[in-house]
Structure 1
Amino acid sequence: MTRGFTLIAVAALLALLTTTASAAGDPARGKTKVATCVACHGQDGNAVDPQYPRLAGQYADYLAQSLHEYKDGRRGNAIMKGFAATLSDQDIDDISAYFSSMPSKLSGLEGHVQGDN
């Protein structure tokens, strides 16, 4: 009886993991959806203008949450709200997966914090 329960538990866990994986964004699809993003954030998510955040290498969950917050107004930026308003949940997942998969050019705070040599 314990073995049967273990097999059911393993099957349920595998089903859950499969569902979670398929719900995640696809970086390849995301690359095809970033045309409006690249003007400010760069094709690879490494914006060169310091007024725009670098998206490359950020956590996909963080990027997705941010886009959802722009879309529903919890984050107050009229430009981003307008862009995010046009995105579906799948678009947000795909775009977030794309930018999170890109190598970041973010540097540490060395030399930028008082007291550093």
Structure 2
Amino acid sequence: MKRALTLLSFGIALAFASAPLLASGNSENGKTKAAACVACHGADGNAVDPQYPRLAGQYNEYIQEALHEYKDGRRNNPIMKGFAGTLSDQDIQDIAAYFSSMPTKMDTLKGHVQGD
């Protein structure tokens, strides 16, 4: 019984600690806020140049985490740091909601995978 209560307490604490990362955001607001992103990542989030990641259909939480990592320097890319550095937490949530809600073209990776 004590072990079950410990596991339950741990699960509850983990859920509360993860809550900020799991915020869903507003995709309509994200569309407006993502205006600068489309120059590299494509109007539909499916970049055609292989040097830029395809964002459409990516996991919401992944996009949020990546933007936070660019913003705080854990990911070292001067261009993305400049863009992400201006974003609020709400902006990040909204942009992630927008791109994660878009249809992906990940089934057409021609030119995006080494060896093509």
**What is the aligned partner in structure 2 of residue 87 from structure 1?**
87
* Residues 17-36 of structure 1 deviation map (CA, whole Å, 9 limit, x = unaligned): xx98xx42111110011111
The structure whose Rg is larger is 1
- Distance in 2 (CA, whole Å) between partners of 1:28 and 1:75 is 27
* Residues 33-56 of structure 1 deviation map (CA, whole Å, 9 limit, x = unaligned): 111100000111100111100000
**What is the aligned partner in structure 2 of residue 49 from structure 1?**
49
Q: CA deviation at 1:98?
A: 0.3
Relative distance call for 1:67 and 1:113 in structure 2 (3 A) is closer
* Residues 31-88 of structure 1 deviation map (CA, whole Å, 9 limit, x = unaligned): 0111110000011110011110000000000000000000000000000000000000
**What is the aligned partner in structure 2 of residue 36 from structure 1?**
36
* Structure 1 moving runs of 4+ over 6 Å: none
**What is the aligned partner in structure 2 of residue 3 from structure 1?**
none
Relative distance call for 1:72 and 1:113 in structure 2 (3 A) is closer
Question: Within 5 Å, which residues of 2 pair with 1:1-117?
Answer: 23-107=23-107
- Distance in 2 (CA, whole Å) between partners of 1:63 and 1:28 is 16
Residues 24 and 60, structure 2, Cα contact 8 Å, conserved in 1:
no
Give SS of 1:53's match.
Answer: coil
Percent sequence identity over aligned pairs: 69
Q: How many residues align?
A: 94
User: Which amino acid in the other structure matches residue 41 of structure 2?
Assistant: H
Give SS of 1:65's match.
Answer: helix
Give SS of 1:104's match.
Answer: coil
